[in-house]
Chains A and B, each alone.
Chain A
Amino acid sequence: MASLDDLKKRIASVKSTQKITKAMKMVAAAKLKRAQDSAEKGRPYSEKMNNIILNLSEGISDKENAPKLLSGTGKDQIHLCVVMTSDRGLCGGFNSNIIKKAKSYFSRLSSEGKELKIITVGSKGNDQLKRIFGDKIIENISFKNSKNANFFDAEKVSKIIIERFQKEEFDICTIFFNQFKNVITQIPQAQQIIPLKTDIDDKEKSEDNYEFEPDEDEILTNLLPKNISTQIFKAMLENSASEQGARMSAMDNATRNAGEMVDKLTIEYNRSRQAAITKELIEIISGAESL
Chain B
Amino acid sequence: MSEEFKLEVVNPEKSFLSKEDVTEVVVPAFEGEMGILKDHISIISFLKPGIIKIYSKLGEEKYYVEDGIIEFKNNNLSILTSSIFNINDIEKNKIDEMLRVAEEEIAKDNISDQAKYLIDQKIEVLRTIN
- A interface residue numbers (CB < 8 A to B): 38, 41-42, 44-46, 48-49, 51-52, 55-56, 150-151, 154, 206, 208-214, 219, 222-223, 226, 230, 233
> Are B42 and A48 in contact, with the CB atoms below 8 A?
no
Say whether A56 contacts B44, CB under 8 Å. Answer: yes
- B31 at the A/B interface (Cβ < 8 Å)? yes
Q: Does B69 lie at the interface of the complex (its beta carbon under 8 Å from any beta carbon of A)?
A: yes
B13 at the interface (CB under 8 A from A): yes
Is there an interface contact between B41 and A211, defined as CB atoms closer than 8 Å?
A: yes
Provide a sorted-by-A list of 20 A–B residue pairs whose CB atoms are within 8 angstroms: A38-B14, A44-B8, A48-B10, A48-B71, A48-B78, A49-B69, A150-B13, A208-B42, A208-B73, A210-B44, A210-B73, A211-B44, A213-B30, A214-B45, A219-B44, A219-B45, A219-B46, A222-B46, A230-B12, A233-B12
Size category of the B interface is 20 to 34
Q: Are A44 and B15 in contact (CB under 8 A)?
A: yes
Establish whether residues B69 and A52, one from each chain, have CB atoms under 8 Å apart when the complex forms: yes
Chain B residue nearest in CB terms to A56:
B44
Check B29 for interface membership: any CB of A closer than 8 A: yes
Q: Give the Cβ gap from A54 to chain B, nearest Cβ, in Å.
A: 11
Q: Is the CB of A42 within 8 A of B71?
A: no
CB contacts (< 8 Å) of A222 on chain B: these are 46
Knowing that A213-B30, A213-B43 touch, tell me 14 more A-B residue pairs with CB under 8 angstroms.
A42-B14, A45-B11, A48-B78, A49-B69, A52-B71, A55-B71, A211-B42, A211-B44, A212-B43, A214-B30, A214-B45, A219-B44, A230-B12, A233-B12
The count of A-to-B residue pairs whose CB atoms sit within 8 angstroms is: 71
Which residue from B41, B43, B46, B80 sits with its C-beta under 8 Å from A45?
Answer: B80
A223 touching B14 by the CB < 8 A rule? no
- B82 part of interface (Cβ distance < 8 Å): yes
- Are A41 and B44 closer than 8 Å at their CB atoms? no
* Residue pair B43, A211 in contact (C-beta under 8 Å): yes
What chain B residues lie within 8 Å of A154 (beta carbons)? 12
CA distance A38 to B10 in the complex (A): 13
B residues less than 8 Å from A52 (CB atoms):
44, 69, 71, 80
Q: Given A48-B78, A49-B80 in contact, is the A210-B43 Cβ separation under 8 Å?
A: yes
Chain A residues with CB below 8 A from B11, complex form = 45
Which residues from A are CB-within-8-Å of B80? 45, 48-49, 52
Give 7 closest A-B pairs by Cβ, nearest first: A41-B14, A213-B45, A151-B12, A211-B43, A45-B10, A210-B42, A44-B10
Cα A46 to Cα B31 with chains together (Å): 25
Asked if A151 and B44 sit within 8 Å, CB to CB, the answer is no
A48 contacts which chain B residues (CB < 8 A)? 10, 71, 78, 80
Nearest CB of chain A from residue B48's CB, rounded to whole Å: 11
